Amino acid sequence: MPVIECDPAAARERLEAAGITVESGNTDHERWRAESGGAKAVAYEGKVVVQGSDPGKLTAVLTDEGGRAHVYVDGASRGNPGPAAIGWVLLTGDGGIVTEGGKRIGSTTNNRAEYEALIHALEIAADYGFDSVEVRSDSELAVRQVRGEWDTNDPDLRERRVRVRELFREFEDWSIEHVPREINERADSLANEAFEDG
C-alpha cells in the first residue's frame, strides 16, 4: 500500500490533469478520494494513501520520479491457451522498489501473456516519468522479437510488438534483455500469486 508524502492540493491537481475524477472525502480527516483502474487514492494531511489490486498507474500520476527504471516482467498461462496472469517489478536506478504487482488477464497464450506484462509495465514506467528503462524478461521469444532479431509471424504478437516499440519511444533511452528465470524470480512469483488471488 503506497503512501506518498505530498501536498494534497497539488496531488489533486495532478490527478485532475490526468483526467481522473476526484471526489470529497468520506470523513473529516479525508481531504479527497479518487479511483482509477483497480485502485483508490485517499488524501490526508500531508500524504496520499493508495490502495487496491493495481495501484501502479494511480501512484505514477501522483509521483515524479524521473531517472532510470529497471523493469522486470513475466507472463504466465496455465494451459497455453488458458487462464493467464502477469507480474511486474519497477525499481529505481539505486534498486528501490517503485511499484510491483500481478493481475489476471483472462485466457490467452503464454507468449501473449509475456507481451501483456511488458506492455503493462512500460505504461506504468512511462506514467512515472522515467527517462530511460532497462527491461528484463525471461521470455527469449518476446525479447528477440522486440529487438528485431526474430520474425513475428503471429498477427496478435506482431500487434503487441508494435505497441511495445511505441511505448519505448516514450523514453530517451531503453534496452531489453533476456534473463534466466531465477533472475526474474520476483516478477514470476507475482504472476503466479495472481492466479491464487483471482
Residue by residue, what is the 3-state secondary structure of 31-91? CEEEEECCEEEEEECCEEEEEECCCHHHHHHHCCCCCEEEEEEEEEECCCCEEEEEEEEEE
- pTM greater than the 0.85 cutoff: no
| Count of C-beta atoms within a 10 Å radius of residue 38 | 15
Q: Grid coordinates 494534497 are at which residue? A: 8
Per-residue pLDDT of the chain in tens (198 residues, 90 and over written 9) = 678 888 899 889 888 877 789 999 999 999 999 998 778 999 999 999 988 876 766 777 777 556 788 999 999 999 989 999 999 999 887 777 888 999 999 999 999 999 999 999 999 988 887 889 999 999 999 999 999 999 999 999 999 999 999 999 999 999 999 999 999 999 999 999 998 875
- Residue 97's pLDDT is 82
Domain residue spans of the chain? 3-62, 68-197
Q: State the pairing for strand pair 39-44/47-52.
A: antiparallel
Decide if 190 contacts 198 (C-beta within 8 A). Answer: no
- Residue 103's pLDDT is 94
User: What is the dihedral angle through the alpha carbons of 6, 7, 12, 13, rounded to the nearest 10 degrees?
Assistant: -110
- Residue 22's pLDDT is 94
Decide if 192 contacts 85 (C-beta within 8 A). Answer: yes
Query: For 3-62, CATH number?
Result: 3.30.310.10
Cell numbers standing for residue 23: 471526489
Q: State the pairing for strand pair 173-178/132-137.
A: parallel
Q: Give CA 93 to chain center in angstroms.
A: 17
Q: Which CATH architecture has domain 68-197?
A: 2-Layer Sandwich (3.30)
> Is-same-fold flag (3-62; 68-197)?
no
Exposed (0-12), middle (13-18) or buried (19+): which is 9, by Cβ within 10 Å?
exposed
| Count of C-beta atoms within a 10 Å radius of residue 148 | 10
SS (H, E, C) 5-27: ECCHHHHHHHHHHCCCCEEECCC
- Residue 15's pLDDT is 86
- Residue 56's pLDDT is 67
